[in-house]
A = this chain, B = another copy of it.
Amino acid sequence: MKNSVSIGLFGLGTVGSGVIQLIQNHQEELFHQVGCDVKVKTVLVRDIEKDRDVQIADIELTTDPDKILQDPEIDIIIEVMGGVEEARQHITDALNAKKHVATANKDLIALYGPELQQIATENSCDLFYEASVAGGVPILRGLSDGLVSDRIQKLMGIVNGTTNYILTKMDEDGFSYEKALKEAQDLGFAEADPTADVEGLDAARKMAILARLAFFTNVELDDVEVNGISQVAVEDLNYGKKLGLTMKLIGLAHFENQQLEVSVQPTFLAKSHPLTAVKNEYNAIYVNGEAVGETMFYGPGAGSLPTATAVMSDVVAIIKNMRLGVNGHSFVGPRFEGVLKTADQRYSQYYFRLHLKDEVGAFSKITSLFNELGISFEQILQTPLSKDELAEIIIVTHTVSLENFQTALMKLRDLPVVDDVISYYRVEGDGK
């Protein structure tokens, strides 16, 4: 074993700078862990001349990936450049050059994780990606080491800080979606183009990665059903409050009878659910295991240094494996094909809001419709609307299949007394 391990870094943005800073500040801690010096030797950047926030005096910057890929001194690649195709090429080349890889790239792993994992295994290399889900929260190791002996049944994640910040502001301060988004952008929690966050795509990528690891299934990104928060009205959050419910953008992964449901959607949580207390830009993953019951992992989902700690936990694991000569053995492959549940196999409670014409017997037409379909109600709120002689009704159902609920919605819309179905959302109880 060498006295020093050299790292090649792809990308010097927010996370890349955090990695350099963390390595510089924690030299002694790292040495104590792995018994040798750890240093970044070369960094691939787009612009060598650009001013940098971090100390890079003894680091070589380059615009040529081969300077890293063909350097025999470099054993480990950290990929934090983002994007998909270029990163995929570099990581493939690195693994084929027998270099171990730690990446924070959720887009890439969600799309090509299994393919890259296979290349890693063929080359006896480690490929780790702890930072790809929930930044500083060590959830991937939590699943694959800590909860390894259990059978995980359900996983619910608040895995996107931007949307959690927006929903917290809407819920606690009564902000509209637009105002909350603007504030998130001003504070740097949301990007100028927020689409990937607010439409749930970012969360969907993380849920695909989590579902693969939690259930040992083949899950493709396309398997994840996605709904974002851009259509969420502050009115629904206020009604939710009256019903003891808080809205979060929840990534759900549920596995039973070897069948799978993975989705991202705005969901009302009961006040007592552990995820309800997760506020602002924080992330948390709630894991329900057959034997362990309820557990939750909470922490920062993004940020330069928090994400860097996750990247460097991968690097420490790689170096420890190097010292023992056991790289390329950590990955445990899938056991199941990811067969998706159909709508009649997916059960949940639902919240829905509708406008009803203010006629005698209108409400009883609703109740008999649901009665016919065998759907019962847990909570009902009725408020008169001053305009248009309409009443606003909010109903929370008991547990019902998605198919049944969709049928109910369709039939509701056909009822002459129903003016409009305004909104509907999944509801999660207290987590038991």
Contacts and interface: CB of A to CB of B under 8 A. Distances in A.
A292 B299 contact: yes
Q: Name which of A146, A293, A303, A313 has the most chain B CB atoms within 10 A of its CB.
A: A146
B149 A142 contact: no
A312 B149 CA distance: 6
Interface stretch (A2-10, A133-141, A203-211): A133-141
Contacts of A30: 149
Contacts of A335: 32
B151 A147 contact: no
B332 A32 contact: yes
B274 A151 contact: no
A150 interface: yes
Interface in A210-269: 216
A138 B289 CA distance: 13
Nearest to A144: B33
When all copies of this chain in the complex are counted, the total is: 2
A309 B297 contact: no
A296 B298 contact: yes
Interface residues of A, number: 56
A333 to B, nearest CB: 9
A29 interface: yes
A316 interface: yes
A293 B136 contact: yes
A296 B274 CA distance: 12
A326 interface: yes
A146 B150 contact: no
B305 A294 contact: no
B309 A289 contact: yes
Given A216-B32, A300-B293, A309 B149 contact: yes
Given A141-B141, A295-B298, A295-B299, A146 B306 contact: no
13 contacts: A29-B150, A30-B149, A32-B335, A33-B149, A136-B295, A138-B295, A141-B141, A148-B316, A274-B277, A291-B308, A292-B300, A293-B300, A324-B324
Interface of A: 18, 22, 25-26, 29-30, 32-33, 130, 136-138, 141-142, 145-151, 216, 274, 276-277, 282, 289-300, 303, 305-306, 308-310, 312-313, 315-317, 320, 323-324, 326, 329, 332, 335
